[in-house]
């Protein structure tokens, strides 16, 4: 997880990332995604195809500006400050942060521009969502749950080679799936700001909890 200011190398990588994404968006706007290739994007951005694939797995990722999902200390600190809604609400907020931080800032403009390719992009977005879910799952599997139960803090286990209990692993899988369902229910794609979710997430968690407790 990132905890320090970006280095010169990281700033250069960020500029290259921006150049590739800008080139991909421009080409896709002119030609459509299907007529845009990784080679054309690399040429327009002034990088080699090899460099392109060091930054983006696919041309679709470059067009939409999708970054590999990553859990950061900043996300954890902000989410654990708000204990409302319990663990499920916190997991949903973490997933939302991972998801939003993996999008380019112009993602909504891109989706509005490329209307003919929207279904194609949504398919890629579903794959990306699975990657974000896996990032959350991997983090929860590595958490020290004894510390969380005692203090509410997100702390990794000291023994990185230790494995969670099978029952805990099943619980974590359920948490991730339910967190995804919460985000879909509140329609995360329709919100302008990632900071507007807390109240909606808490209401949805309450609704889900009530429905689960209802008699069959």
Dump pLDDT digits (tens) for 83-95.
Answer: 888 899 999 999 9
State how far the alpha carbon of 80 is from the alpha carbons of 1, 88, 182, in Å. Answer: 16, 12, 18
Does residue 1 belong to any structural domain of this protein? Answer: no
Does residue 145 belong to any structural domain of this protein? Answer: yes
Does residue 79 belong to any structural domain of this protein? Answer: yes
Q: Does residue 87 share a domain with residue 33?
A: no
> Residue 85 corresponds to which tokens in the numbers above?
């809604």
Range of the domain at 60: 8-64
Question: Cα-atom radius of gyration of the chain, to the nearest Å?
Answer: 19
Own/partner pairs, 122-127, CB within 8 angstroms, 24+ separation: 124/58, 124/60, 124/61, 124/64, 124/66, 125/64
Residue recorded with tokens 């390719």 = 117
Q: Does residue 23 share a domain with residue 98?
A: no
Q: Does residue 154 share a domain with residue 99?
A: yes
Q: In degrees rounded to 5, what are phi and psi of residue 46?
A: 75, 30
Instruction: Choose one of 43, 64, 85: the last residue of a domain.
Output: 64
Q: Does residue 112 share a domain with residue 25?
A: no
Number of domains in the chain: 2
Q: Does residue 203 share a domain with residue 96?
A: yes
Does residue 177 belong to any structural domain of this protein? Answer: yes
Q: Does residue 107 share a domain with residue 32?
A: no
Residue recorded with tokens 């896709």 = 28
Instruction: Choose one of 64, 87, 106: the last residue of a domain.
Output: 64
Q: What is the pLDDT of residues 44-71, one digit of tens each?
A: 999 999 999 999 999 999 999 999 999 9
- Cβ atoms 75, 97 nearer than 8 A: yes
pLDDT for 194 beyond 60: no
Mean pLDDT of the chain: 88
Q: What is the pTM of this model?
A: 0.85
- Cβ atoms 156, 94 nearer than 8 A: no
CATH number at residue 55: 1.10.10.60
């Amino acid at each position: 997880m990132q905890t320090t200011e970006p280095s010169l190398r990281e700033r250069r990588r960020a500029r290259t990332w921006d150049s590739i994404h800008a080139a991909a968006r421009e080409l896709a706007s002119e030609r459509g995604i299907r007529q845009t290739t990784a080679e054309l994007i690399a040429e327009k951005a002034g990088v080699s195809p090899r460099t392109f694939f060091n930054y983006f797995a696919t041309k679709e990722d470059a067009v939409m500006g999708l970054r590999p999902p990553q859990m950061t200390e900043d996300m954890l600190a902000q989410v654990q400050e708000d204990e409302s809604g319990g663990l499920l609400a916190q997991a949903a907020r973490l997933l939302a942060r991972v998801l939003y931080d993996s999008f380019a800032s112009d993602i909504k403009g891109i989706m509005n521009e490329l209307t003919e390719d929207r279904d194609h992009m949504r398919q890629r977005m579903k794959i990306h969502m699975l990657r974000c879910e896996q990032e959350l799952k991997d983090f929860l599997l590595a958490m020290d749950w004894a510390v969380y139960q005692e203090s509410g803090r997100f702390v990794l286990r000291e023994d990185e080679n230790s494995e969670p209990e099978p029952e805990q692993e099943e619980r974590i899988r359920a948490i991730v799936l339910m967190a995804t369902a919460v985000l879909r229910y509140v329609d995360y794609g329709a919100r302008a700001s990632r900071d507007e979710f807390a109240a909606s997430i808490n209401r949805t968690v309450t609704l889900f909890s009530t429905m689960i407790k209802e008699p069959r």
